[in-house]
Structures are given as structure tokens and as C-alpha cells.
Amino acid sequence: MNLEDFLAYIILPILSTSTLLVFIRFLMGPSLSDRVVSLDLLITIGISIIAVYSIVTNRPSFLDIAMIFALIAFLSTVAFSYYLEKRKKNE
């Protein structure tokens, strides 16, 4: 079993299953914070799927897209935590 077979037959099904489970948590999350964390995890799983696709197709240009998604996910999480802190101080 080479790397491409391992990624296609083992890693991608695991990532697909985890995407489904995290999306269910996103829909059923009891609080806004849970939904934001699950959305951040969905973006992280998407980044890993892009990285796997980049390795399988031997196109390193997709890693730039994954890096941009990671920056956007990080900044959105920081912005949301800042919003929650401001909201707690006003209550």
C-alpha cells in the first residue's frame, strides 16, 4: 500500500465521517460558542481534505489555498472570542 492508497482509502473516509459528525454538532449545538467551535473544526477538516487532495494529485499550489483558509479560520475565531468578551462585559 503506497501513500496515495492510504490517503484515499483510510484518511479520506475518516475525514468524511468526522465532517458529518461535526456538522451534526454544528446544527444541534446548544450555544453559540459550540457552533463557532464546530465551524472552526469544519474549516480545519476542510483544510486537511485540501492537503490530502494536494498530495494525491501532486499539485502543491492547493497548499497555498489551505494556508489562506487557515488564516481566515484563525482570525474569525479570534474575532468571535473578542466579541464574546465584549458581550460579557456589557452584561
- Rounded CA-CA distance 67/71 in Å is 6
pLDDT surpassing 80 at residue 91: no
What's the chain's average pLDDT?
92
pLDDT in tens, 10-59: 999 999 999 999 999 999 989 888 999 999 999 999 999 999 999 999 99
Cell digits for 1?
Answer: 500500500
Residues above pLDDT 70, as percent of the chain: 100
CA distance 67 to 47: 8
* Residue 70 CB partners (closer than 8 Å, separation 6+): 43, 44, 47
